[in-house]
Amino acid sequence: MAFTKAGIVQVVAQETGLTKNQYSHAVETLMELMKGALASGEDVLISGFGKFCVKEKSQRCGRNPATGESMILAARRVVTFKCLGKLRNRCNGGVCGAGD
């Protein structure tokens, strides 16, 4: 099961003593700032977590999987995520650095 935005709001509100409405507004503001930065082509780095990067994909030949027909896929931008070493180690059960 995915950890949702609503779940994050609930947990952080409990941990910090803020109301759900206060923290919900903070999360929404953070998400809008991140979306705006990514839409304008900027990367978003969250220390200790990872980096959201905007990559340019060039036009390429593709295939319709339903019909097998060849087609041209338009150039586009995609968002990728690269996790930092501390997060990767934690996800893989490794020991993290001091303070983690």
User: What's the pLDDT tens digit per position in 48-68?
Assistant: 899 999 999 999 999 999 999
Backbone angles phi, psi at 16, to 5 degrees: -100, -20
Q: Is the pTM of this model over 0.85?
A: no
pLDDT at position 23 is 86
The neighbour count for residue 90, using CB atoms within 10 Å, is 15
Domain range for residue 64? 43-91
Q: Is residue 34 domain-shared with residue 47, that is, in the same domain?
A: no
Q: Is 88 helix (H, G, I), strand (E, B) or coil?
A: helix
| Residue 66 identity (one-letter amino acid) | A
Edge to edge, what strands does the sheet with 44-46 contain? 44-46, 50-57, 76-83
Residues facing residue 57 across a β-bridge: 76
Say how far apart CA 72 and CA 23 lie, in whole Å.
44
Q: Is residue 97 part of a domain?
A: no
Whether 33 and 47 map to the same domain: the answer is no
| Residues 7 and 30 occupy one common structural domain | yes
Is the same domain home to 59 and 69? yes
